[in-house]
Amino acid sequence: MNLLDSHDTIRAVVYTGETLRLLDQRRLPFEEIHLDCHSAVDVAEAIRNLVVRGAPAIGIAAAWGVVLEARNLAAAGQAVSAQTLEPVLAHLNAARPTAVNLAWALARMRGVLVRAPQDTVMALTTEAQSIQDEDLAANRRMGQLGAGLISAGSGVLTHCNTGSLATAGFGTALGVIRAGVAAGKIAQVYAGETRPWLQGARLTMWELARDRIPAKLIADSAAAHLMKSGAVQWVIVGADRVAANGDTANKIGTYQLAIAARHHGVKFMVVAPASTVDMATLDGSHIEIELRDATELLSVAGKRTVIEGAEAWNPVFDITPASLIDALVTECGVIEQPDARCMREVFSLASHAPT
């Protein structure tokens, strides 16, 4: 096993041929428990309840959810068609509204149904596997491209979880970090804790420790102070949706990191597959920001920490303007200082807009 492969040992979404096996990310880092989904309803619930999370992984899981439902229909002697599966597609699509990969993956599965192949179940299975395989290949490619921007000896800060847990494997922003560490470019990794679900503390630190990548956890509120110290040369984050002008929706807290990075002369990199680019959305103001239950913010690990009667506002994502992004890395290449013109040159509406 080479050094790069030793930093890529986790697979959180696995189709067994009978079920979709998901590593329950709510239980990490102390319990590694897998849940088996038997239907699209099971998959939609897993997506909604954050058993599986991360934009690419959500899309992959949804594609396999369609396969499971097609198998169930076929086993019951019912027709497997665009008509019979459309309610399933709609149910899966409603599970998380912000991550464009979900709609994108389901559009690909719908395209298979529209073509009406002779063996629909097999065709859907092949398409879902392609979506998963393409994501892993894209992550490897993005890792190389992003690492190429980093100078030797750099410190990097990341936010939320963008690794193998959030993708088919290797990761987006964490894939760049994995490739950068393997190439000797990155001397130190810092991970923000990422309240309220602590994806950075629970998941990113788990991935980095498991793959023997030295990292330090910081409180979200320590990020600007860390940048001021000179310990960080790059902030590297993922994305749940990239608009046509380069504005980016990502985990809440990303926007303030971009502002702090610009103030301190720290470079800011967004790493996301082309499936996350939504050329049908003009700019960030048109991206729906998901609001989750306020109790997530009023509690830690299910234990309330705030006085009864208190209220909370709990947006899951924020929008980072393209003007604060130094590099957008996709498998299609690197876009420096992204704007609407650069985005049009790389991405076509027909290829990347969800339907």
By three-state DSSP, how is residue 240 classified? coil
In the chain, which ranges are E strands?
13-15, 20-23, 34-37, 154-158, 186-192, 215-218, 234-237, 241-242, 248-251, 267-271, 299-300, 303-304, 317-320, 327-330, 333-336
Torsion sign across C-alpha atoms 289, 295, 296, 297: positive
Helix or strand holding residue 60 (H, E): helix 55-75
Which residues, including other chains, have CB under 8 Å from residue 295's CB and lie 6 or more apart? 304, 312
- 8 labelled catalytic: no
**Rounded Cα distance, 321 and 287, in Å:** 12
**Rounded Cα distance, 199 and 191, in Å:** 10
Q: What is the DSSP string of 15-53?
A: E-SSSEEEE-TTSTTT---EEEE-SHHHHHHHHHTTSS-
Q: Catalytic residue among 42, 240, 278, 318, which?
A: 240
Position 78, amino acid: Q
Which residues, including other chains, have CB under 8 Å from residue 13's CB and lie 6 or more apart? 20, 21, 22, 23, 52, 57, 60, 61, 64, 132, 168
Which residues, including other chains, have CB under 8 Å from residue 272's CB and lie 6 or more apart? 55, 172, 238, 239, 242, 248, 328, 329, 330
**Rounded Cα distance, 266 and 295, in Å:** 34
Q: What is the DSSP string of 277-301?
A: B-TTS-SGGGSPPPB--THHHHEET
Which residues form the catalytic set? 240
